[in-house]
Structure 1
Amino acid sequence: MPRASRHDAWQAGDSYDAYMGRWSRQIALRFVDWLHAADRLEWLEVGCGTGALSAAILARCDPKSVVSIDPSGGFLAKARANVRDARVEFRPGSAEALDIETASKDLVVSGLVLNFVPDRDRALAEMKRVARPGGTVAFYVWDYPGRGVEFMRAFWTAATALDPNAADLTEDRRFPFCTPDGLTALAREAGLVSVACERIEAPTVFKDFEDYWHPFTLGTGPAPGYCMSLDPAVRQRLKERLDDSLPRNEDGSIHLKARAWAVKGGVA
């Protein structure tokens, strides 16, 4: 497996929730609000993970139905546990080959997934195929090139100071297209019309350093996977370097922020 992707282990739903899920839930709510979707529409979510976006759709809208797919059995199990609503159905499936009828959904959405799909063009073509004429295709990804996920950037800054080879694993290097220009270009190349892009931000507040560090020891995701691949002594040095470098409030809490780019386009 290529070194740049060998730590992308996305099976453990509980570990993902501790690492990224608690922050992706905040972003998902802001994304759904930005869509201004009408009620009683039929939705498809591509790459549901542990259910953050599914829950946001149900909380902010009154959908007729939501079909949420993901290739990870572990994530689907966690999503079903997290989101218990008769309007949503969680199914196994691939973004690049959607087992969904053509022109059958009003909104086709994806959250924090597109950068991990090997064939992004194919995935967007499939999303557009499934949307009805007059419908919407929309997605969002973290602002990796702009170092928008500050807690992740702090980790990689400390890691690369100890191991320069870790730079090959950083998301800004792996996903350089995750910019407003790069993402809107993907949407337009997919044939979407009236494409719009929006910045979405949310605070990421850790109650103390242990709250920050513990998710990196769970192994789910590129940074935690890298962390747990280290020799224990090297991992301890990384922990100490982070402990010394992160900003603290008087109560010991660590206040950072996370930024994503959201894109939406219409289907003619």
Structure 2
Amino acid sequence: MGGDVWGVGSAYEAYVGRWSRPVAASFVAWLAVAPGRRWLDAGCGTGALTGAIRTAAAPAQLVGADMSLSFLGSLHGAAWVNADAAALPLAPASFGAVVSGLALNFVPEPARAVAEFTRVATPGATVASYVWDYADGMQLMRWFWDAARAVDPAAAEVDEAVRFPICSPTGLAAAWTDAGLHEVETRAITVPTLFTDFDDYWQPFLGGQGAAPAYLARLAPHRRWEIRDLLDARLPRRPDGSIALTATAWAVRGHAA
């Protein structure tokens, strides 16, 4: 997993959690799952998607699964299980909706996770996921990695756009089709990410949560400052000093046989 670090909810919130909630809300609306279904959120993290399901989908039951006990401790309004998305300790055909938000690419073998999603889904259930568009659309990370690679060519080895080929509409559609899911569709979900100033953008990268912050933490201090200074020079500013970017996720949905 390229040395990625996950486990501190407040640092995750500052880095991407605050942007993942509007994506989750759009994703749940797109799925349009009928009320009264039993939902599983696999790789639930601190609960952005779980919260959107609870708010908008009227689930009969909602279960979150994640490898991080610390993240699960932040989960509210749902039952939870401490588990690997690729090895779920759950009964077959037991959920009417199985979803995963911003987690699938961090599973070492994503195909195993999608097979597990399919296994625990009831016939006709919605199976869906979304991941960041690291190559282009998740701009706060794209600006970072482009600057990091200019300072340190070795950063290319941990750039999420390189590491995660599943994070594309073709990659997601292939994974869903290979798992035997039907009526497979993909779409982009884009939300604004407005930073009040450069510090609002930069400070979350020092929290150690996620691929880019974990990479930055391993660098010598002078290299971190070089990346910081290059970003400070490159990022687009509004007249008031704010930085207006966008974050795009690729979403996929299908139905179990």
Question: Partner of 1:223 in structure 2?
Answer: 212
Question: Partner of 2:116 in structure 1?
Answer: 126
User: What amino acid sits opposite 2:224 in the alignment?
Assistant: R
Cα-Cα RMSD:
1.1
Secondary structure of 1:225's partner?
Answer: helix
Q: Measure, in 1, the Cα distance between the counterparts of 2:24 and 2:100.
A: 10
Secondary structure of 2:174's partner?
Answer: helix
- Deviation track 1:42-69 (CA, whole Å, cap 9, x = no partner) reads 0011000110000000111111110000
User: What amino acid sits opposite 1:57 in the alignment?
Assistant: I
Question: Partner of 1:11 in structure 2?
Answer: 7
Q: Measure, in 2, the Cα distance between the counterparts of 1:180 and 1:142.
A: 11
User: What amino acid sits opposite 1:119 in the alignment?
Assistant: E
Secondary structure of 1:5's partner?
Answer: coil
The match for 1:50 among 46, 50, 64 is 46
Structure 1 segments of 4+ aligned residues over 6 angstroms from their partners: none
The match for 1:144 among 115, 118, 134 is 134
TM (norm. structure 1) is: 0.93
Q: Measure, in 2, the Cα distance between the counterparts of 1:237 and 1:228.
A: 14
Residue 121 (structure 1) shift? 1.5
Aligned residues: 257
Alignment of 1:80-159 (within 5 A): 83=76, 85=77, 88-145=78-135, 147-159=136-148
User: What amino acid sits opposite 1:5 in the alignment?
Assistant: G
Residue 78 (structure 1) shift? 2.2
User: What amino acid sits opposite 1:129 in the alignment?
Assistant: R
Residue 250 (structure 1) shift? 1.2
- Deviation track 1:86-143 (CA, whole Å, cap 9, x = no partner) reads xx11220111111111111100000111111112111111111111111111111111
Q: Measure, in 2, the Cα distance between the counterparts of 1:38 and 1:176.
A: 32
- Residue 197 of structure 2 contacts residue 241 of structure 2 at CA under 8 Å; is this kept in 1? yes
The match for 1:37 among 33, 37, 42 is 33
Secondary structure of 2:34's partner?
Answer: coil
Residues 222-231 or 26-35, more deviating: 222-231
Q: Measure, in 1, the Cα distance between the counterparts of 2:121 and 2:165.
A: 28
Q: Measure, in 2, the Cα distance between the counterparts of 1:112 and 1:155.
A: 18
User: What amino acid sits opposite 2:132 in the alignment?
Assistant: W
The match for 1:258 among 241, 247, 252 is 247
Q: Measure, in 2, the Cα distance between the counterparts of 1:96 and 1:222.
A: 20
Alignment identity in percent? Answer: 49
- Residue 69 of structure 1 contacts residue 94 of structure 1 at CA under 8 Å; is this kept in 2? yes
Residue 69 in structure 1 maps to residue 65 in structure 2: yes
User: What amino acid sits opposite 1:167 in the alignment?
Assistant: A
Secondary structure of 1:78's partner?
Answer: coil
- Residue 16 of structure 1 contacts residue 220 of structure 1 at CA under 8 Å; is this kept in 2? yes
Secondary structure of 2:144's partner?
Answer: helix
Question: Partner of 1:206 in structure 2?
Answer: 195
Secondary structure of 1:243's partner?
Answer: helix
Residue 177 (structure 1) shift? 2.8
- Residue 14 of structure 1 contacts residue 78 of structure 1 at CA under 8 Å; is this kept in 2? no
- Deviation track 1:139-193 (CA, whole Å, cap 9, x = no partner) reads 1111123x21101011111111111111111011101232111210110000001
- Residue 33 of structure 2 contacts residue 126 of structure 2 at CA under 8 Å; is this kept in 1? no
Secondary structure of 2:73's partner?
Answer: helix
Residue 59 in structure 1 maps to residue 55 in structure 2: yes
